[in-house]
Amino acid sequence: MDLLDTLTAKGLRGEVPTREEALAVLATTDDELLDVVAAAGKVRRRWFGRRVKLNYLVNLKSGLCPEDCSYCSQRLGSKAEILKYTWLKPDQAADAARAGVAGGAKRVCLVASGRGPTDRDIDRVTDTMAAIKEADPAVEICVCLGLLSDNQAERLKAAGADAYNHNLNTSENTYGTITKTHTYADRVDTVRKAHGAGLSACSGLIAGMGESDEDLVDVVFALRELGSDSVPVNFLIPFEGTPLAKEWNLTPQRCLRILAMVRFVNPDTEVRIAGGREVHLRSMQPLGLHIANSIFLGDYLTSEGQAGQADLDMIKDAGFEVEGAGEATLPRHRADVAEAARAAHAGGSCGTAASACGSGGGCGPCGGHAHAPEAAPEAVPAQNGAEDELRGDLVKVRRRGAGTELAPNA
Ligand code: SF4
């Protein structure tokens, strides 16, 4: 197939496809799916070998959020019966993190619900990072606290944070249909603040919210332009009690096409299969490893993943290996680009990311919409004939680990 030959050649050179080529990946048929996976796999192996980076989530503060992100079980008005608790103490968070690292995780992701942190919250997270790094100085820490105010990113960097997560989630064009309490531009601003402070930017998307192929391509190109070093690809977990509970728009095949498109647009960037991996890829998860080079180990923020040991078994059975603490995730040239971009931001220059007004970062809303619709969030009809049956039985609320008396899943 000419398309896949072209995409493979570009990916092996670290070049980005055209928007039309990215759209064409999403339009491939099921008969072509294994060829698509194989082509993306060549690009993945060129830059990341057979390594899989493991990341471990610690939900520092769960639920009770004043924001209205319609995909989120922690949102204002959510009826989802998730765990709700306020800030974990540093030793509690460090215990949870230790379990993840012992299970093979190289990066710990410290997440708290909310619009954004107060300066007191930054103090709390500073103490938590100190407790984690005291036990294991080599562990990477990524922080996700929502929208950042001035100087908060610098404080996190000085306290030992390696990265900051803030997802753009969807295209600028549709952002206002999923969130009204903040904008896409707010999210972009926070990613830039993190970059400017010298933090590695982790920013990704959520697929399955009723968006079009064009929306997916828009947000993925925006993430590329923004200079995200790590792109988490979430597949919507339709929680009962949230506005998107009935949005079952994904099939395993559709998820693989989306992952492949993200890989082709980000050939030498960390691509992570994030939330919804078990729910939507299901028995096709190992094929996802041929495209993405990073996953979460164990549970997610408010939902359960498969057992941590099952993740490790899957990696081994599929012929991959867990990335070690001493191994660099990004290829050298890509790490240099990331470092230069951070330096440019820190020096007051917008650099390449400045033109990327399209994707925000973190847990918070990425709004940017000057004219958010008044109506309640309403999904766009599913594309690509990907409607799945309602499978609420696959969504399991997290009842173990952080915020409970039960051992974490790692
Ligand atoms: S995504 Fe973050 S900001 Fe939005 S409702 Fe959920 S916890 Fe709040």
**Ligand 1 centroid to residue 203 C-alpha, Å:** 14
**Ligand 1 centroid to residue 114 C-alpha, Å:** 6
Q: How far apart are CA 107 and CA 96, in angstroms?
A: 13
Cβ of 111 less than 6 Å from ligand 1: no
Tell which atom from ligand 1 comes closest to the C-alpha of 78. 5
What tokens were used for 192? Answer: 């830039």
Cβ of 189 less than 6 Å from ligand 1: no
Told to judge if 350 belongs to the known catalytic residues of this protein, a careful annotator would answer no
Q: How far apart are CA 256 and CA 253, in angstroms?
A: 5
Average pLDDT, the chain: 90
What's the rounded mean pLDDT across residues 347-371?
33
**Ligand 1 centroid to residue 145 C-alpha, Å:** 9
**How many CB atoms are located within 10 Å of the residue 15 CB?**
12
Told to judge if 357 belongs to the known catalytic residues of this protein, a careful annotator would answer no
| Helix 184-196 vs helix 332-346: crossing angle, to nearest 10 | 100
Q: How far apart are CA 295 and CA 297, in angstroms?
A: 6
Taking the whole predicted model, whether its pTM rises above 0.75 is answered as yes
Three-state SS at 272? strand
**Ligand 1 centroid to residue 112 C-alpha, Å:** 9
What's the rounded mean pLDDT across residues 99-107?
96
Q: Choosing from 75, 187, 202, 277, which is the catalytic residue? A: 202
Cβ of 7 less than 6 Å from ligand 1: no
Q: Rounded to the nearest 10 degrees, how much is the dihedral formed by the CA atoms of 347, 352, 357, 358?
A: -130
* pLDDT tens by residue, 176-234: 999 999 999 999 999 999 999 999 999 999 999 999 999 999 999 999 999 999 999 99
Cβ atoms 312, 56 nearer than 8 A: no
pLDDT given for residue 374 in this prediction: 35
Cβ of 364 less than 6 Å from ligand 1: yes
Gyration radius of the chain's alpha carbons: 19
* pLDDT tens by residue, 119-146: 999 999 999 999 999 999 999 999 999 9
Express as a percent the part of the chain with pLDDT over 90: 84
Told to judge if 255 belongs to the known catalytic residues of this protein, a careful annotator would answer no
Q: How far apart are CA 243 and CA 69, in angstroms?
A: 9
Q: What is the pLDDT confidence band of residue 266, given thresholds at 50, 70 and 90?
A: very high
Q: Rounded to the nearest 10 degrees, how much is the dihedral formed by the CA atoms of 395, 399, 403, 407?
A: -120
Cβ of 233 less than 6 Å from ligand 1: no
What's the rounded mean pLDDT across residues 370-399?
59
**Ligand 1 centroid to residue 115 C-alpha, Å:** 7
Q: What is the pLDDT confidence band of residue 336, given thresholds at 50, 70 and 90?
A: confident
Residue 324 burial by Cβ neighbours in a 10 Å radius (0-12, 13-18, 19+)? exposed
pLDDT given for residue 190 in this prediction: 98
Cβ of 67 less than 6 Å from ligand 1: yes
Q: What is the pLDDT confidence band of residue 339, given thresholds at 50, 70 and 90?
A: confident
Secondary structure letter of residue 319 according to DSSP: T
Task: Name 55's bridge partners.
Answer: 107, 296
pLDDT given for residue 340 in this prediction: 78
Tell which atom from ligand 1 comes closest to the C-alpha of 179. 4
